[in-house]
Amino acid sequence: MKRLFQWLSIGLVALGLILVLPVSAYASAQEEDEKEGDKDAEEKDAEEGDAEEGDAEEGDAEEEIAEEEETSALFGADDEIVTSEETEPEPEPEKVRVLHGEYMKSITFSTDDGWFKFQPRGMVQPRYGLHINGEAEDKLAGSGFSLKRARFGFQADMFDFARIYLDTGWGGGYGSLVDFFVDIDPFDGMVALRAGYFRPWFGRQLLMATTQLQMIEYAQAWEDEWLGLDLGRDLGFGLFGMIADTVEYGIGVWNGREGFSLGPGYTEHFIETPANIDYMFGGRIAVHPLAPAGVGTTLPLGDVSDTAISDKPALSLGVAMLYNKRHDRDILMPSGAYQLYYDTQLKFGVDLGFKMKGLSVLGEFFLTKVAIQDDAQQPIKDAVTAYNESNAIPWNIDGTGIGAYGQVGYFILPRQLEAAVRFDMVDENMDKRGTRLFPGAGLTYYFFGNNLKAQLMYRINVGTDYVDADPVAGTAADAGYIDTSHDIFLMLQAAI
């Protein structure tokens, strides 16, 4: 057994030698070949003057030669060889829209590519009003604190051609809708469609944002009931835009001043009115004559004050017209009962705006014509005539009235302190005596532009050219007599 293990051991060693010696010999031969190859390469580099060392292995050199031959066959010997890494770049990661927020004059959230932009809007206008009634028993009636306006809403821009605007008013413990409309604007402001609940395009001051008013109160021409210029908001749609920075326009159709025509409704004296028959249409067009001449800039609707203290002049001249057909009016007949009738209102206006170096000028003139329809019943026409001649109220049921104002502002301290004066008049019916005048003045201190400012305003209310009357008894031949009174307003505005 011992001898058997010895022979097995000798056999295994012999077998190992048989297997290892050829491999070792092959490896030695390869090493010698590599050395000879390196020596030849060094001699060749020395002959050619190449300073680089030939440290590549023979196998790698053969592989490089094979690759060069293959590439040369595909592209030609003189073509630039482009590696696969250069021809197939790594794909870029998919872009993700990220919403960013910023604050300049308003808070804005927007995506990098402008696909979506959201601007929350809001303001509060706490106000104190002191009313001095010259000939009334209570000379300070109506004085005290009030919340002139409290608004909250937003504007959202989407897809580069659509806008949604919402504005709500808050007061007295409840909210109300102020504006809600959609704009479709595929032509960069030249032609846009608006549909919803918004102000009709009429006049200039009334279309400006209430946060940008130069004086606390609108001109009284807008407030007068008979002239009916303060149209509020109404349901409708229209087209608007600006062409080449020179022509500004807006034209539309609305339900009408006397309601939304969703009836049936009721008149002031509870006479039932039919539904869906009132309507109003019209609009405004303005030109900016200084912009195309290259000597000035455009003055679109917006801030009336020259808060930017602009170096170039801006001028706007506009004209507006609205036709309103109404079917929810009533008249006291000779029988003592009220009867429904319908009439039309034609409103016409012209406006002017100017800005330069802190100076701003704003002026508007309005005319309102109210007429009974030609096909109205004769008894109604007779009743209207009798009602007009009775002087029962300061304005007539039909007739022509005018209103106008001129307003000038100037920055005493650039971008900080602005003074303004305004002369305002209303003649509710040119066929009757009497004109109402409302001269006033104001100061505005801008803490942070229109975002935070304090305003002071004084106004005197005067009635002139009326027939002498007893203002207390109210038994005058012309009840349009107006007491002279004074108003002082102080208001703080905060807005985003």
Residue written as tokens 């004109």?
A: 435
Taking a C-beta distance cutoff of 8 angstroms, is the pair 121, 106 a contact? yes
Closest by Cα among 230, 229, 253 to 240: 253
Q: Which residue has the higher pLDDT, 327 or 6?
A: 327
What burial letters (b/e) apply to 244-253, b meaning 16+ CB within 10 Å? eeeebbbebb
336-380 residue pLDDT tens: 888 888 888 899 999 999 999 999 999 999 999 988 887 788 888
Q: What is the assigned CATH class of domain 112-495?
A: mainly beta
Please give the share of the chain, as a percent, with pLDDT higher than 90: 43
What is the Cβ-side half-sphere exposure of residue 492, based on CA atoms within 13 angstroms? Answer: 4
User: What is the dihedral angle through the alpha carbons of 327, 232, 366, 444, rounded to the nearest 10 degrees?
Assistant: 160
Measured between alpha carbons, how far is 454 from 302 in angstroms, rounded to an integer?
19
Instruction: Name the one residue in this structure whose structure tokens are 């109205």.
Output: 376
- Tens digits of residue pLDDT in 51-100: 444 444 445 545 554 444 444 333 343 334 344 445 566 666 655 556 56
pLDDT exceeding 70 applies to what percent of the chain? 71
Kindly list the domain boundaries of the chain, sorted by start residue: 112-495
Measured between alpha carbons, how far apart are the two ends of the chain, in Å? 107
Helix (H, G, I), strand (E, B) or coil at 454: strand
CA atoms lying within 13 Å on the CB side of residue 18? 6
Q: What is the mean pLDDT of residues 393-420?
A: 89
State the pTM of this model: 0.73
